[in-house]
Structure 1
Amino acid sequence: MNNKKALTLYLVGALGQIIVVCVIAFVLRRYGVEVGYATPLGWIIIAIGGISSALWGAIISIKYRNTGFKTVICDFFRIKQSPLNYSWMILFLCLDFLPVVFGGRISIRVWYLPIIMFFKHIVLGGIEEIGWRYLFQPLLQERLHYILATIITFFSWGLWHFLFFYLDGTHADVIPFLIGLLVNSFILSALYVKTNNLWICVMTHSLINVFSQLVTGGNQYVGYFSKVVIIVIAIMLATKTIRKLKQYIGLFIHSRIYNGK
């Protein structure tokens, strides 16, 4: 399977599946059937639509990289990482929620609530990383510059999210949501480029979702500043890492050719 076919199949599969489920949900609602978290049928429909990016990310990854399903699962739970990899994740999270330090607040009713939310959001959010960061963006980066690949991923991921919002009946303020999604696209893509680790992206995605539900308020101008800083750091980190990787590959190829002669 070549790069172009893999990209096409992933988008057709991930977006096509959730679109079909949205059509089914639309028809059911027209006939008065409730589709949402309040009914077992609603949960099934939401699950089928929500798993589309992860499902097709795994399928195409296995075909494109000639690996097995076990490899995807192992990469998903590859928790053992260097402290530096986790440090980059912490840095981005601190910058992302820096505005809360200036006039915001954290609401935690019981101490174990964040732990429960974390594991919930691994299933309801982090699993998306199998599609978008583990497969789709790396495929784009084989053809395009990191920045352009991140922006295309952002638009595709955004479209997928709005389809999912229709399924589960939630609503989001469009502009703030898109700005946040763009920043998260740079955070998660830079982390994957730097660490080459799916789990780091899964964990970061889940923590972003958790903190977003627990914190309120914060200085708006600090928020604008931190978002710009995040994008700048992400671009610098990712492009520097990609440049070093290309240099290593070039030296390796040169060495093999030289030794072969």
Structure 2
Amino acid sequence: MKQKKRSLKQIRLFLLYTFSITWFCWLIVIIGNKYFNTLWYGEPLFWILDVIGSLGPAISSYIIYRQFNEDFREQSFIRFVFGKKIDIKVWLIFGLFSLWRLFMIWIAFGINKPISILSIIINLPLAILFGGLEELGWRGILQPKLEKLVNYLPSVLIVGIIWGIWHLPLWLIKGTVQSSFPFGLYLFSGIILTSSFTTLYKYTKNLFLCVLSHAWFNGCIGLALYMGNNGSLQLNLNWKVIVVFSFELIVSVILGIAYHRKKPILC
């Protein structure tokens, strides 16, 4: 019971810190757009606020980790992020996960040129900063703490919904990727990705690989949004997209359940 109360307190504080940091920054942008004709998408000041807002979950994870670890050291937080030594099996899981992303955009969106892969790699540092580091909060704090209170599948659903709601202000900022398609669809895709990243973390025990995987996904889907539509900010939805995302959801759920039944696959 004491452990559950501790987990609940950490969840509440994490959400308070995360939403406060992120929504405050994005609200400034929205107000600037609407009332002062400034802070438009692409302007330097916009990017500063957007980066700080995007780092909300990462900043909050550091605060929570420090607040609830009496023997806190910077080295311990580094170990929290990078986990134990990565062996061949972990690299294999991460490699298969990354290859699946390339296969996904090839099948669903028809993006198969080698230059596309190079583009993802070049933009990976930015993708880490603008999305990947979120994983320190979602997978590092929220998901494992929530699993102490509810079962695995409900926790995935809850985190996916929270993740989607956290992005909500971006629909009020013209030019963002999120503003290019319906919120309901984004919310559903967030649940799918929550299942995938959670399963990846369980089998690798490495948050940084989740950071890289999140950034890799953002890079892949970015190609689908821009290169797949002649530079226009639009996601070309078709039956292939539904099939590949449905397949990912089914596989990630099966792997997640298998892990919790002490019969992990590929591990």
Q: Could you state the TM-score of these two structures normalised by the residue count of structure 2?
A: 0.78
Tell me what 1:86 maps to.
91
* Aligned equivalent of 1:68, options 66, 73, 77: 73
Tell whether 2:215 aligns with 1:210.
no
Tell whether 2:191 aligns with 1:186.
no
Tell me what 1:158 maps to.
164
Tell whether 2:190 aligns with 1:172.
no
Q: Give the root-mean-square deviation of aligned CA atoms.
A: 2.9
Q: For the residues of structure 2 that align with 1:35 and 1:219, how far apart are their CA atoms?
A: 31
Q: Percent identity at matched positions? A: 23
1:150-175 Cα offsets, whole Å, 9 max, x none, are 11110111011222454574113124
1:205-234 Cα offsets, whole Å, 9 max, x none, are 111111112243899434333323322222
- Structure with the greater relative contact order (CA < 8 A, sep ≥ 6): 1 or 2? 1
Q: What is the letter of the counterpart of residue 221 of structure 1?
A: W
Deviation at 1:58, TM superposition (A): 1.6
Return the index of the structure with the highest Cα Rg.
Answer: 1
Tell whether 2:137 aligns with 1:131.
yes
Q: What is the letter of the counterpart of residue 181 of structure 2?
A: D
1:93-125 Cα offsets, whole Å, 9 max, x none, are 444543623771235658743222112111111
Q: For the residues of structure 2 that align with 1:103 and 1:59, how far apart are their CA atoms?
A: 40
Q: For the residues of structure 2 that align with 1:103 and 1:43, how far apart are their CA atoms?
A: 28
1:154-207 Cα offsets, whole Å, 9 max, x none, are 011101122245457411312443332222111101111222210121111111
Gaps of 5+ in 1: 246-261
Name which of structure 1's ranges 136-145 and 17-26 shifts more when overlaid on structure 2: 17-26
Aligned residues: 245
Q: For the residues of structure 2 that align with 1:113 and 1:5, how far apart are their CA atoms?
A: 42
Q: For the residues of structure 1 that align with 2:205 and 2:109, how far apart are their CA atoms?
A: 36
Q: What is the letter of the counterpart of residue 162 of structure 1?
A: L
Gaps of 5+ in 2: 230-235
* Aligned equivalent of 1:17, options 7, 21, 38: 21
Q: For the residues of structure 1 that align with 2:83 and 2:174, how far apart are their CA atoms?
A: 30
CA contact 2:30–2:172 (8 Å) conserved in 1: no
Cα pair distance change 1:110/1:61, threshold 3 Å: same
Q: Could you state the TM-score of these two structures normalised by the residue count of structure 1?
A: 0.80
CA contact 2:196–2:252 (8 Å) conserved in 1: yes
Name which of structure 1's ranges 134-143 and 222-231 shifts more when overlaid on structure 2: 222-231
